[in-house]
Structure 1
Amino acid sequence: MSIDNTELRDRYWQKTRNLTILVLGLWVFFSLIIPALVGSLNSMTFLGFPLGFYMIAQGSLIAFVVIIWFQNWRQDAIDDEFGFGEES
């Protein structure tokens, strides 16, 4: 394997690793931090529900779907940038 290919592969995995760390950080925030703050969030309301309850029941699920979409969108862009994308 040539040096150029090794450098290209290293940059690809660096971007992929950074994306994974970001996604895991967001996942931790919405699955662990928000539930830990539910007591203080319940002092506010959203659509007539306590905000903490809403964030646990609906908000976190919406956030997880958005996180999955974002990760797939960014990973496709990274794959295309380095020539690993699917050809149409």
Structure 2
Amino acid sequence: MSDHNVNAEKYWQANLRLILGSLVVWALASYGCAILLRPMLSGIAVGGTDLGFWFAQQGSILVFILLTFHYAWKMNKLDEEFGLQE
């Protein structure tokens, strides 16, 4: 296998790890906190409502936005590491 193919495979594996990690965080925030763990979070007040409802209405959206910026930042670093920056 050529050196270029090895670098391309390492780059792709790092990208997939980043995507998988982002999806896990997103699922925990969206499904875990907003749906599955809502009864446990109902006693914690945030802004006049319980934490489970807050995650369902706003928290999961904010987590998604933060994940988008985090992914872009990490991909820029990964591009630099593999010499693929724009």
TM-score (norm 2): 0.88
State the superposition RMSD in angstroms: 1.3
Q: Which runs of 5+ in 2 are unaligned?
A: none
Q: Which residue does the alignment assign to 2:73?
A: 73
Q: 1:22-65: CA deviations, max 9, x gaps?
A: 01111111121112111221111112211111121111111110
Write out aligned runs for 1:2-13 (5 A). Answer: 3-13=2-12
Q: 1:4-25: CA deviations, max 9, x gaps?
A: 1111111111111111110111
Of the two, which has the highest radius of gyration? Answer: 1
4+ residue runs over 3 A deviation: none
Instruction: Report the count of equivalent residues.
Output: 85
Q: Does structure 1 conserve the Cα–Cα contact (< 8 Å) formed by 2:26 and 2:60?
A: no
Q: Which residue does the alignment assign to 2:22?
A: 23
Q: Distance in 2 between matches of 1:24 and 1:47?
A: 27
Measured after TM superposition, the shift of residue 81 of structure 1 is 1.3
Q: Which residue does the alignment assign to 1:41?
A: 41
Residue identity over aligned pairs, in percent, reads 28
Q: Which runs of 5+ in 1 are unaligned?
A: none
Code of the residue aligned with 1:41 in structure 2: it is: L
TM-score (norm 1): 0.86
